[in-house]
Amino acid sequence: MTMEQFAREVMSGRRGGLAASLLRAGLWSAQWPYRIRVVCKNVAFDFRLREPFEVGVPVISVGNLTTGGTGKTPIVAFLANWFRDAGAKVGLLSRGYKSLDSQANDEKLVLDQLCPGVPQWLNPDRILSAKRAVVDGCNLLILDDAFQHRRVHRDLDIVLVDAMNPWGYGHCLPRGMLREPIANIERADLVIVTRTDQVSAEELTAIRAELVRRNHIGTVIEVSFRPSQLINSAGQTKLLSEVSGQRVFGFCGIGNPDSFERTLRQLGSEVVGFESFPDHHHFATDDFARLGEQAKSTNADLLLTTHKDLVKIHATAFGDRPLWAVQIGTEIIRGAPMLESRLWSILERVPKA
């Protein structure tokens, strides 16, 4: 069990016993200094004691209320491709969290493939990146993971909510997974609820009710991430139907490993083993050797991972077992007309050359 899995067990209350209860009590106390810092920062912007930087071109922010994977990368790719195809010169700005080197992290490598030709700037200083992007000719910017980064003015503030764990166990870090209190979602212009196909109708109804309580009426989009094909490090592709009925060993290093394991089972394959690593894990040779041995010992026909993990693995097999990744696409289940209308309104503000 990874530290992230252990933390989720404690935060969620699934781990019982005196030690876990005492740890939760300590984490409950530790969340308050964090919450105070968050409140102070937001008050400064809400009461205009600090002014966000105006870039001079339309800016869209895509962010989270919680830590962990909510599906930002496919949403950012969807938006970047939509605006690029509509004629905008799009630039993507992110902080470059856990970069593999000075120029790229796993999310950048995936976005390079999902939205080719769209330039990216990785820098914790988003103002500096924005200035450089505009100088280089971009007339529309997308800020990745920026709901809490309020230094840059945005024309559209989008927050993603993972239907599988929408409210981060109801507490701020480190007691729960919330980056800021649930009430702050009212600051968002749009809410995109992701992975709606992986929860029950009752759970989805409860999420909708909470969002209505937070003044989000007519501003909620619901999406699912559907597997589209398999791809390997050599750029070869396979139909999803080709793994139906096969014995699969799965692994990933993402924020929501449970979602990926469910996806593998939905492919119709027999999942004979599964291992999760910390989010943004940098794989080592020892990892490859161990995963290959595990796949062999479970008599798996192949290994499957995520696209986000594959971009860091330059191999088409571990031992004698082939390695493939599941590519996913964004499917809008509810709210497509409203989203399209908001995107067109942003496009109208793009400076003409």
What pLDDT was estimated at residue 105? Answer: 78
In the predicted model, what is the mean pLDDT of the chain?
A: 94
pLDDT at 178: 97
Q: What are the boundaries of each domain within the chain? A: 59-225+331-347, 226-329
What's the mean pLDDT in 189-205? 97
Return the beta strands (E) in the chain as ranges: 59-64, 90-94, 120-122, 140-144, 156-162, 190-194, 220-231, 237-238, 247-252, 270-276, 302-306, 317-318, 321-334
Please tell me the least confidently modeled range out of 19-28, 51-60, 276-285, 330-339.
Answer: 276-285
Terminal-to-terminal C-alpha distance of the chain: 54
Q: Tell me which residue of 259, 252, 253, 289 sits closest to 273, measured CA to CA.
A: 252
Same fold, 59-225+331-347 and 226-329: yes
The residue among 316 and 5 whose pLDDT is bigger is 316
How far is Cα 81 from Cα 114, in angstroms, rounded to an integer?
Answer: 8
CA nearest 300: which of 328, 329, 323? Answer: 323
Query: What is the predicted pLDDT for the residue at 4?
Result: 82
Confidence tier at 201 by pLDDT (50, 70, 90): very high
DSSP code at position 352: P
Question: Residue 68: its pLDDT value, please?
Answer: 80
Q: What's the average model confidence in pLDDT over 186-207?
A: 97
| Model confidence pLDDT, tens digit, residues 73-125 | 999 999 999 999 999 999 999 987 655 554 577 889 999 999 999 999 999 99
Residue 6 neighbours by CB under 8 Å, 6+ apart: 15
How confident is the model over 292-305, as a mean pLDDT? Answer: 97
CB 112 within 8 A of CB 312: no
Assessment of whether the complete model's pTM goes beyond 0.75:
yes
Per-residue pLDDT, averaged over 24-42, amounts to: 97
DSSP H or E run through 336: helix 336-347
Domain 226-329 fold is: Rossmann fold (3.40.50)
Which CATH number, 3.40.50.300, 3.10.20.30, 3.40.640.10, 3.30.930.10, labels domain 59-225+331-347?
3.40.50.300
Q: What does the pLDDT look like over 129-139, one tens digit per residue?
A: 999 999 999 99
Residue 280 has pLDDT above 90, yes or no: no
